[in-house]
Chains A and B, each alone.
Chain A
């Protein structure tokens, strides 16, 4: 057929590029929103942070950059210790449970790097609320925007959080969390066995797939504990204490710097007192591809609240 005439090497490399570009940038892009404790109709106030907008050219840096303070005080051995103690803490933590008719509102206030026209990339804030119902027979609610709360907001209701075409919001890889083991080693083996050659390295892929589960803020405490233990088994994981989430709340950043992705560091930020995930951050630890040293290319804050109602679905 005609398509077979295309150079297979080029085609394979193109495919790899496409997978990499959406893996490396896309993961900072979707998620969620809002620092406010309860839902209010209308556009929430969310401006006023210092220097949150960054403009970067693909090839040359121009404009203000948001810089992360990365003091990797902890070596890997210490990271393991912290992860295990956090896992112990988390096991004993009681997640907030909504009563019948109530919802657990998990709010994410995010600031992602997105690409615009021409070569310009810029940081864009986004808010995403997920409402998990207290009654199993009620629908979940997703209230999100696509970078503009006023004009690009959508509210979707769906059973089991399958907001888009039956795809689970919690995890596409593991849509049913109840079947996952809670033991860290078993979880690590399961994740590692699912490695399909994606990402810049196997360790990066495992780290990303574990944190993909954590970053929604929707996994229960017992599984969270296991995932923290599993992270301790991923080579190259380090921690940085007293780091800020996007709303300025302090936490412990568990991260991994990927050398094969020009020193890009992905972090999940947890509250050291509760083990709850309170955000994530992505930092360039090497000035490359037009990014400045320690430039933050993704930053979120997650908060949790029990609320009595969720917004109505918007018309499709």
Chain B
């Protein structure tokens, strides 16, 4: 593993393009946790998240000529692709049906979101955030993903998205306030109302 770390994403990508499948495997090992974590934040079911992760890497393979490696890392491209895959979930699922069907069926485990989000309130908040995020424009989602969730600099985010840094800054500003107001609206709708009053009434 330590030698693995010394090889850059770019070198692995190049090896993969030369037919070294294990290099792609190493890129998968290196980045899957980030992609999985990101997908779990954005989709409610872990099984869907699993499929999205798979499709993100299938996409990386299919679009290998266009992949951007930013600051030596494939992660930004993968995360933006995860956003796109979630948005175009049905279409991508059709595209990769044959590959997905060859994976073992999803396990019998309970929806981990249920275990993970033990309190109802926390679940509500997460749902609201998810919904708010899904209502943003695609470019705003990508900017938030890279700059806030992944803590990339605006410069690296700009490189990952192929847009000007100034555009990233303005989008980021707008996306934050838009997400904030959407979240507030949605949270008000979903939040369990007047719980303390009911308790008092008992």
Please report A residues at the B interface, Cβ cutoff 8 Å: 1-3, 5-7, 9-11, 13-15, 17-31, 58-59, 114-115, 118-119, 146-147, 164-167, 172, 196, 198-199, 208, 212
Contacts and interface: CB of A to CB of B under 8 A. Distances in A.
Contacts, number: 124
Nearest to A196: B22
Interface magnitude class on chain B: 35 or more
Nearest to B6: A166
A119 B62 CA distance: 10
Contact of B25 (A6, A15, A167): A15
Contacts of A24: 21
A13 B22 contact: no
A69 B144 CA distance: 55
A7 B108 CA distance: 9
* A2, A20, A31, A212 interface centre (most CB from chain B within 10 Å): A2
A118 B109 contact: no
Contacts of B107: 7, 9-10
Contacts of B148: none
A146 B14 CA distance: 12
A253 to B, nearest CB: 19
Contacts of B25: 15, 18-19
Contact of A26 (B11, B20, B99): B20
Contacts of B29: 15
B75 interface: no
A81 to B, nearest CB: 29
A28 B65 contact: no
A147 B122 CA distance: 51
A29 B15 contact: no
A29 B62 CA distance: 13
A147 B65 CA distance: 10
B17 A29 contact: yes
B104 interface: yes
Nearest to B14: A164
A119 B175 CA distance: 35
B189 to A, nearest CB: 27
* B19, B36, B40, B95 interface centre (most CB from chain A within 10 Å): B19
B104 A9 contact: yes
Given A58-B98, A118-B95, A165-B8, A22 B21 contact: yes
Interface in B93-108: 95, 98-99, 102-104, 106-107
Contact of A7 (B21, B32, B98, B104): B104
20 contacts: A3-B37, A6-B50, A6-B53, A9-B104, A9-B107, A10-B107, A11-B32, A14-B54, A14-B57, A18-B28, A19-B22, A21-B24, A22-B20, A59-B98, A118-B95, A164-B10, A164-B11, A164-B14, A167-B15, A198-B22
B5 interface: no
